[in-house]
Chain A
Amino acid sequence: MTKTLVTAIIAALTMIGGARPARAESLSLLNVSYDPTRELWRDINSKFIPAYQKSTGTTLDIKQSHGGSGTQARAVIDGLEADVVTLAMWPDTDAIRKAGLIDAGWDKAFPHNSSPYTSTIVFVVRKGNPKNIKDWSDIVKPGVEIVTPNPKTSGNGKFSFLAAWGSVTERGGSEAEALAFVTKLYAQIPVLDLGARGSTTTFVQRKIGDVHLTWENEAHLEVDEAGGAVEIVYPPISVLAEPPVAIVDANVKRKGTAAAAKAYLDFLYTKDGQEIIAKHYFRPIDAAVFAAHTATFPDIKRFPVTAIARSWDDAYDKYFGDGKIFDSFYKPKK
C-alpha cells in the first residue's frame, strides 16, 4: 500500500518534470500580454505557427498569459519566463528592462518604436445614445454615469485618464481646467474596476453606467457581445496609444529561443500580421493595410502622451505617482 503510493507520487513528479521539450525541432514560447489582446494573439499564433514550421522546420508551441499590464510586468520581473512581452504601454515593458531582463534600446529593436499597432480610447454608450454623448464635455453632464478602470492598476484606466486630460489641454485649455474636468469625471464613476475586462463586465453584463471609456478594440468586441444593445461613439479627440512589443533577452538566451521570438515579433509587421491586427480592431501601422480598413477606423485627432508630459516616465510620475495629480483629487468611495 505505502509502496504503491510512493511509486505513484514519484511517477507523478517525474511526469511533471518531463514536460520540458526534449528535441531541438520543437520549441515553446511564452507570450506575456495584457488583458484585451487574447483573441488577437490566438489568431496570430494560429497563422504564425504553421508559417514558421514551413520556413524553418521547427514546431512551435506558443503559450499565452493575460492580465493587467502592470501585474504582468511584475510577474515577468519576478521570474515568469516570458520569451516576449506585448504589454499595454511603454513604462511596463521598460520596468522589465530596469530589472535587467530586457536589453537597453528595446524600443528601437522593431520598426515604429517597437509598436506594431496603435489604438485609442473611445466611448461606448447605450443603444440610441440616450444621453446624447458626442464629446468629452458631454460625459461630465449631471446624471451621466461613467465606467472605466482604475488608472492606478490598469492600462485602459491610465489611457482613459490621459485622454480626458488631453481633451482639455490639447484644445487650448489650461492645466487647471483639465484638473477641474477630471475631478468632475472621476466623481461620476460608480465603480472603478481593476482591469479593462472587469469594466466591460460592469458595463455590459451588470448594465451599470451610461458611457464606458475603453480601448477601441474592446469597444468593438463589446458591441459584438452585447448584440446591438450598445454602440460606439468616437470623440473628436483622444489619446494615441502605442502598445510596444519586446523580446525578453535574459529569458530567450537561457532557453535558446531568440531566433523564434524574433521571427514571432517580426511576423506582426508582415502584411498577414497587419491584416490580423486590423481584423481585431487594432490600428495597423502599415499604410497599405490601414488604407484598406479606413472604414473601420474613423479619423480622429490623436495626441501622443508626450504632448501632455515630457516623457512616459514623467507622465507616470506627474499623473499617477503617489500623492500626485490623480491622488490629489480622487477619494475612493466608502
Chain B
Amino acid sequence: MRIALVAFTILVMGVLIVIPLVNVFYQALAGGGGVYWRNLVADADTRHSIYLTLIVAPLAVAANVVFGVAAAWAIARFRFPGRTLLTAFIDLPFAVSPVVVGLFLVLIFGLQGFLGPWLRAHDIKVIFAIPGLVLATAFVTFPVVARELIPVMEAIGADEEVAAVSLGARGWQMFSRVTLPNIKWGLLYGIILCNARAMGEFGAVAVVSGRISGQTDTMPLRVEKLFQEYNMPGAFAVASVLASLAVVTLLVKTGLEWKTRSDLAAAARETARGKT
C-alpha cells in the first residue's frame, strides 16, 4: 500500500511538474547556448521585460515586508476587536482571482474610474505604468510575508520583548535588537516566497499593464507575447529564467524551512526549560 502511494505520488509529480520543467529548459536550449543567450539579451523588448520585473518585484516585496511585519506584529502581539476579521482579510488576495484584482485597480485608477480623472489632471500615471504594476503585484502577494511571520511570532512569544522593554529599551531598539533577530529566518523565507510569487505574477499585471512592448511588459507577459509571435525559442528562454528562479526559490526555501524549524524547536525547548 505504502509503495503504491509513493509510486503514485512520484508518477503524478513527474508528469505534472518534472517533465514540463525539464522540457522548458530543453526547448530553451535546443538551439545551443549561444542562441539561448541571444534570445535573452539581443531583443531590446525582452531585455526591458527582465529589467522591469527586477524593478517591480523588489518594490512589491519591500511594500509587503513593511506591511507584513506590521500586520504580523499587530495580530501576534495584541488582542483587539476585529482581530479575527483582520486575519481573514489578510488572506483575501489569495482567495480572489488576480484578474479581479486587476479590475479593482482599473475601477479605482482608470480614466473612467474613481481617481482616474484627478490623476490625469495632475499628470500622474498609475495604471498602464510602473506604479500600477507594483500595486497589482503587491496586492496579489500581500498575505505571503504576514502569513509566514504570524506563526513564528506566536511561537516565539512576547517574553523577550517584555524583558527588553522592562530593561528600558525603546520601541525601535526592542524591534531591531530583539524581535528582528528572532524572526529573521521566517522573514527571509517570506521575502523569498513573496519575491518568487511577485516575479511570476501574470493575471493582475496583465490587466493593468496595457501590454506596451518595451515599456510595461513584465517577464511573464513577455513569455506570452513571444509565444504568440511564434518565437518558441525566445518564449522558452524567458520562461527558463522564470523557472530557474522557481528552482532557486525552492532550494533556498527548503534550507530556510529546516533552519526555522530547528530555531522554533530550540525556542520551544527553552520555553519548556524555563517552566520547569
Residue among A39, A80, A198 with most chain B CB within 10 A: A80
Cβ–Cβ contact A197 & B228, under 8 A = yes
Cβ–Cβ contact B106 & A78, under 8 A = yes
Cβ–Cβ contact B111 & A225, under 8 A = no
In the complex, which of the residues B111, B127, B212 contacts A63, with contact meaning CB atoms closer than 8 Å? B212
Which of A64-72, A157-165, A265-273, A294-302 lines the interface with chain B? A64-72
Given contacts A79-B127, A225-B230, contact A99 B112 (CB under 8 A): yes
A7 to B233, CA, bound (A): 39
Residue of A nearest to B123 (CB): A254
In the complex, which of the residues B62, B110, B116 contacts A9, with contact meaning CB atoms closer than 8 Å? B62
Cβ–Cβ contact B211 & A66, under 8 A = yes
Given contacts A9-B62, A12-B59, A225-B230, contact A80 B213 (CB under 8 A): no
Number of interface residues of A (CB under 8 A): 25
A77 to B113, CA, bound (A): 10
1/0 per residue A78-100: CB within 8 Å of B?
A: 11110000000000000000010
A16 within 8 Å of B (CB atoms): yes
Interchain nearest-CB distance for B114 vs A (Å): 12
Given contacts A38-B229, A63-B215, A65-B212, contact A81 B55 (CB under 8 A): no
- Contacting B at CB under 8 A, from A16-33, are 16, 30, 32
Q: B215 — which chain A residues lie within 8 A by C-beta?
A: 63
- Contacting A at CB under 8 A, from B71-129, are 106, 109-113, 116, 120, 125, 127-128
1/0 per residue B173-191: CB within 8 Å of A?
A: 0000000000000000000
Cβ–Cβ contact A16 & B111, under 8 A = no
Q: A39 — which chain B residues lie within 8 A by C-beta?
A: 229
A303 to B190, CA, bound (A): 60
A201 within 8 Å of B (CB atoms): yes
B210 within 8 Å of A (CB atoms): yes
A51 within 8 Å of B (CB atoms): no
Interchain nearest-CB distance for A241 vs B (Å): 20
B130 within 8 Å of A (CB atoms): yes
Cβ–Cβ contact B212 & A64, under 8 A = yes
> What total of A-B pairs shows CB separation below 8 Å?
56
1/0 per residue B202-228: CB within 8 Å of A?
A: 000000001111110000000001011
Given contacts A16-B55, A16-B130, contact A78 B213 (CB under 8 A): no
A104 within 8 Å of B (CB atoms): no
Interchain nearest-CB distance for A220 vs B (Å): 13
Interchain nearest-CB distance for A98 vs B (Å): 11
Given contacts A63-B215, A65-B210, contact A75 B55 (CB under 8 A): no
A39 to B112, CA, bound (A): 31
- Contacting B at CB under 8 A, from A162-218, are 197-198, 201
Residue of A nearest to B229 (CB): A38
Interchain nearest-CB distance for B115 vs A (Å): 11
Cβ–Cβ contact A78 & B212, under 8 A = no
Given contacts A16-B130, A78-B106, A80-B128, contact A65 B111 (CB under 8 A): no
In the complex, which of the residues B128, B214, B229 contacts A75, with contact meaning CB atoms closer than 8 Å? B128
Cβ–Cβ contact B106 & A64, under 8 A = no
Q: B225 — which chain A residues lie within 8 A by C-beta?
A: 66
Residue of A nearest to B113 (CB): A78
Q: A225 — which chain B residues lie within 8 A by C-beta?
A: 230
A198 to B127, CA, bound (A): 26
Given contacts A9-B62, A201-B228, contact A78 B127 (CB under 8 A): yes
A12 to B51, CA, bound (A): 12
Cβ–Cβ contact B112 & A77, under 8 A = yes
Q: A79 — which chain B residues lie within 8 A by C-beta?
A: 109-112, 116, 120, 127-128
Q: A9 — which chain B residues lie within 8 A by C-beta?
A: 59, 62
Interchain nearest-CB distance for A3 vs B (Å): 14
Given contacts A9-B62, A63-B214, A64-B213, contact A81 B228 (CB under 8 A): no
Q: A16 — which chain B residues lie within 8 A by C-beta?
A: 55, 130
Cβ–Cβ contact B111 & A77, under 8 A = yes
Interchain nearest-CB distance for A254 vs B (Å): 8
- Contacting A at CB under 8 A, from B39-63, are 55, 59, 62
Q: A80 — which chain B residues lie within 8 A by C-beta?
A: 128, 210
Residue among B62, B212, B215, B225 with most chain A CB within 10 A: B212
Interchain nearest-CB distance for A255 vs B (Å): 10
A299 to B106, CA, bound (A): 45
A78 to B228, CA, bound (A): 25
Rank and list the top 6 A-B pairs by shortest CB-CB distance, nearest first.
Answer: A79-B111, A78-B110, A197-B228, A80-B210, A80-B128, A65-B212
A–B complex contacts, Cβ < 8 Å, 26 sampled: A9-B59, A9-B62, A32-B210, A38-B229, A39-B229, A63-B212, A63-B215, A64-B213, A65-B210, A65-B213, A75-B210, A77-B111, A78-B111, A78-B112, A78-B113, A79-B110, A79-B120, A79-B127, A79-B128, A81-B128, A99-B111, A99-B112, A198-B228, A201-B228, A221-B230, A225-B230
User: Residues on A close to B: CB < 8 A?
Assistant: 9, 12, 16, 30, 32, 35, 38-39, 63-67, 75, 77-81, 99, 197-198, 201, 221, 225
Sample of 14 further A-B pairs with CB below 8 A, known A12-B59, A30-B212, A65-B211:
A16-B55, A16-B130, A35-B228, A64-B212, A67-B211, A75-B210, A78-B112, A78-B113, A79-B109, A79-B128, A81-B128, A99-B111, A221-B230, A225-B230
